[in-house]
């Protein structure tokens, strides 16, 4: 696929067809992740790949708890902005968007404790996000779709413990990979044009 086509086609998917994904495709996606820029040159990232339904159900039980307790009624019969519409659509799907696709990738980076005092202190996490973004774009390039969940607070440790990850490793996110359902609703987005976001030479008040 041409680069701009990948950029323009990228979106987050949350519903899947039953079609399988070839493991060779997953390996190409992981290879794209490994090509990401890195803060320390080592590229010491690891990837847990979940494929069976049992593995995914076990790993993401906490996401099920969150999706199940989400009160959809809270958003009914009121005017929502686009961000609220997205939230109301995405929240009930936080578990199914992971367990119903063929593969979930859990990228891991070495870090015992996050330190957000300065942006540079977050370089291990930031590099892991570069890995994640490379993989998301590679997924689109393969003609597939991805779902993305960031573990909510303690969900991070719960999932990594279930996956047997040793202490000293963290994940930025869980990435589901599959064939998006053709009829999936595509929600309207805010304008992504850079017009109105550019400040030539320094910050300018509008």
Ligand X SMILES: Cc1cc2nc3c(=O)[nH]c(=O)nc-3n(C[C@H](O)[C@H](O)[C@H](O)COP(=O)(O)O)c2cc1C
The residues of the shown chain that bind ligand X, judged by CB under 6 A, are 11-12, 86, 90, 94, 148-150, 189
* Shortest Cβ 5–ligand X spacing (Å): 15
Nearer to ligand X, 21 or 139 (CB): 139
Distance CA 200, CA 177 (A): 39
**Nearer to ligand X (CB atom), residue 57 or residue 133:** 133
**Shortest distance, CB of residue 24 to ligand X, whole angstroms?**
26
Nearer to ligand X, 30 or 132 (CB): 132
In the bound complex, what is the minimum distance in angstroms from residue 201's beta carbon to ligand X? 29
Token readout for 185 is 């609703």
- Which C-beta is closer to ligand X: that of 24 or that of 188? 188
- Shortest distance in whole angstroms from residue 147 CB to ligand X: 6
* Whole-angstrom distance, CA of residue 206 vs CA of residue 204: 6
DSSP structure string for 26-95 = HHHHHHHHHTS--SSS----EEEEE-SHHHHHHHTHHHHHHHHH--GGGGTTS---HHHHHHHHHGGGTT
Please identify, using beta-carbon distances, which residue of 22 and 80 lies nearer to ligand X: 80
| Distance (Å, whole) CA 127 – CA 38 | 5
Q: What does DSSP assign to residue 166?
A: P
What is the rounded CA–CA span in Å between residue 3 and residue 138? 10
Q: How far is the CB of 152 from ligand X (least distance, A)?
A: 7
């Amino acid at each position: 696929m041409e680069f701009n086509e990948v950029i323009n086609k990228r979106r987050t998917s949350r519903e899947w067809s039953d079609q399988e994904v070839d493991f060779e495709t997953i390996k190409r996606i992981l290879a794209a992740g490994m090509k990401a820029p890195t803060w320390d040159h080592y590229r010491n990232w690891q990837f847990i790949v979940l494929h069976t339904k049992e593995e995914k159900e076990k790993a993401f039980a906490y996401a099920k708890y969150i999706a199940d307790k989400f009160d959809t009624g809270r958003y009914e019969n009121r005017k929502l902005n686009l961000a609220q519409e997205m939230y109301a659509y995405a929240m009930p799907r936080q578990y199914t968007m992971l367990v119903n696709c063929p593969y979930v990738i859990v990228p891991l980076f070495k870090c015992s404790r996050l330190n957000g005092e300065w942006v540079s202190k977050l370089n291990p996490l930031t590099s892991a996000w570069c890995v994640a973004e490379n993989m998301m774009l590679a997924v689109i390039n393969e003609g597939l779709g991805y779902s993305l969940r960031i573990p909510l607070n303690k969900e991070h440790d719960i999932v990594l413990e279930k996956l047997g990850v040793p202490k000293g490793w963290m994940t930025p996110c869980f990435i589901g990979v599959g064939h998006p359902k053709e009829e999936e609703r595509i929600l309207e987005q805010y304008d992504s044009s850079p017009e109105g976001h550019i400040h030539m030479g320094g910050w300018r008040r509008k």
